[in-house]
């Protein structure tokens, strides 16, 4: 089973790692066969599985249920699980709720925010819970942002995001996830923290890892699809099409061909 040390080693060796969201055992098994390096049990399940408008209604019980299902189906990938909206607003909530998903099979928890989460990151890490901090476009704050939009478009905003990364890394964050930021910023942050693997979604091709929502990359998102998504299913056919789409995604992340320029936000900072 892939560990956090393996992801750090992949970064140290200048290689890339693949990550997909996953919520159930059969998809998890297909991802194991395709050798996907890591899986995120994302609170995006509020939309993809539960049919809701946002991630806000998702509960910690939902996350534990899906984490356990994924872990039972997959013995290979590194598993991280989102702490959903308002389940880490106090230190005690963060500890109790992290315990729930770690006992369900997660190897790491993911929280959304910035420097203000430093104490939470420090306390969780001290208690044996590795933390990934998700920065940039953080969907739990969609009502603060007023929609799903590119973040850190100016040098000033990019420097503020870098300062947030530095604060949480100093507090002990073991992984960073950047969503919807200019490619140049994804590259800068990846290079600034040589010990910390950085995963991107809409953050350019220079981050150490890439993540996509599985329904997006299988062409199962109807209506508007984000610019950073590539449909890997389109290129497949036959009864192993889903498995082949996962293999194609893994290969494209590893060889750096995904994301291509058309899936990248180019902004001069």
Contact 174, 196 (CB under 8 A): yes
Q: Which residue has the tokens 């449909």?
A: 231
Contact 227, 265 (CB under 8 A): yes
Structure tokens at 163: 């300062």
Q: How many residues in the chain?
A: 269
Nearest to 169 by CA among 209, 121, 110: 121
**Beta carbon of residue 201, minimum distance to ligand KIV (angstroms, whole number):** 5
Residue 104 Cα to chain centre, angstroms:
19
Residue of minimal CB distance from ligand KIV?
A: 42
**Beta carbon of residue 44, minimum distance to ligand KIV (angstroms, whole number):** 3
> Closer CB to ligand KIV, residue 179 or residue 268?
179
Active site residue 156: no
Contact 109, 131 (CB under 8 A): yes
Provide the binding-site residues for ligand KIV, judged by CB under 6 A: 21, 40, 42-44, 82, 134, 177, 179, 201, 211, 213
Q: Which residue has the tokens 């991107």?
A: 200
**Beta carbon of residue 179, minimum distance to ligand KIV (angstroms, whole number):** 6
**Beta carbon of residue 213, minimum distance to ligand KIV (angstroms, whole number):** 5
**Which is it for the CA torsion 261, 267, 183, 211, positive or negative?**
negative
Please pick, among 179, 195, 206, 239, the residue that the annotation labels catalytic.
Answer: 179
> Closer CB to ligand KIV, residue 2 or residue 40?
40
> Closer CB to ligand KIV, residue 21 or residue 118?
21
> Closer CB to ligand KIV, residue 56 or residue 159?
56
Residue 146 Cα to chain centre, angstroms:
21
Query: Could you give the residue numbers annotated as active site?
Result: 179
């Amino acid at each position: 089973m892939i560990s956090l040390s393996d992801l750090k080693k992949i970064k140290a060796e200048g290689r890339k790692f693949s990550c997909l969201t996953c919520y159930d055992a059969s998809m998890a098994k297909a991802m194991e066969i395709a050798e996907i390096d890591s899986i995120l049990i994302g609170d995006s399940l509020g939309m993809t599985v539960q049919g809701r408008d946002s991630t806000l209604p998702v509960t910690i019980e939902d996350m534990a249920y899906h984490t356990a299902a994924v872990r039972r189906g997959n013995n290979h990938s590194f598993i991280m699980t989102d702490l959903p909206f308002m389940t880490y607003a106090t230190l005690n909530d963060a500890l109790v709720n992290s315990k729930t998903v770690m006992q369900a099979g997660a190897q790491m928890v993911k929280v959304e925010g910035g420097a203000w989460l430093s104490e939470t990151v420090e306390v969780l890490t001290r208690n044996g819970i590795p933390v990934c901090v998700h920065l940039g476009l953080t969907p739990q704050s969609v009502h603060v942002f007023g929609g799903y939009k590119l973040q850190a478009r100016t040098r000033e905003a990019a420097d503020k995001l870098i300062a947030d990364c530095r604060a949480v890394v100093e507090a002990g964050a073991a992984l960073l996830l950047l969503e919807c930021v200019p490619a140049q910023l994804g590259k800068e942050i990846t290079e600034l923290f040589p010990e910390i693997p950085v995963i991107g979604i809409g953050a350019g091709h220079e981050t150490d890892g890439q993540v996509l929502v599985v329904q997006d990359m299988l062409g199962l998102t109807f209506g508007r699809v984000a610019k950073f998504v590539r449909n890997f299913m389109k290129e497949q056919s036959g009864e192993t099409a889903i498995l082949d789409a996962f293999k194609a995604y893994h290969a494209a992340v590893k060889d750096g061909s995904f994301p291509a320029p058309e899936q990248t936000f180019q902004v001069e900072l």
